[in-house]
């Protein structure tokens, strides 16, 4: 019984560490509802958010969630939830790709 309680306590204490490690390469997360993007977490330049907003407006993206992670010294877009048409997804990747990783990391909180 003590072993089970010890394992439960360990799992509860380890969970925040596991989440922090999983998010360590995450730059920002964007939630899109009815063609309007909203920064959920992270930092990014306002100009990048504006350009992403242009892409999700035409055609209007109903609902999606994506994140941008740092991978191999580049920013990479990953769809977390929702369906993004292939052409629009490529446009989003192209927009993210035009910004150097350092510029994204130096971006401020979104207003």
Domain-embedded: residue 2: no
Find the domain containing 52 and state its range: 26-106
Q: What is the pTM of this model?
A: 0.79
Number of domains in the chain: 1
Residue 5 binned pLDDT confidence (cut-offs 50, 70, 90): confident
Residue 93 binned pLDDT confidence (cut-offs 50, 70, 90): very high
Section 37-51 average pLDDT:
93
- Asked if residue 19 has pLDDT above 70, the reply is no
Domain-embedded: residue 72: yes
Domain-embedded: residue 43: yes
Domain-embedded: residue 10: no
Domain-embedded: residue 18: no
Residue 72 zone, left/alpha/beta (φ > 0; ψ -120 to 50; rest): left
């Amino acid at each position: 019984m003590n072993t089970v309680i010890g394992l439960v306590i360990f799992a509860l204490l380890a969970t925040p560490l596991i989440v922090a490690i999983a998010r360590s390469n995450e730059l920002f997360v964007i939630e899109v509802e009815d063609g309007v993007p909203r920064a959920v977490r992270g930092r990014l330049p306002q100009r990048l958010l504006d350009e992403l907003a242009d892409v999700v407006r035409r055609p209007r993206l109903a609902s999606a969630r994506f994140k941008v992670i740092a991978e191999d010294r580049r920013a990479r877009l990953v769809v977390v939830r929702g369906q993004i048409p292939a052409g629009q997804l490529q446009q989003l990747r192209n927009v993210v790709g035009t910004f150097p990783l350092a510029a994204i990391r130096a971006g401020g909180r979104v207003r």
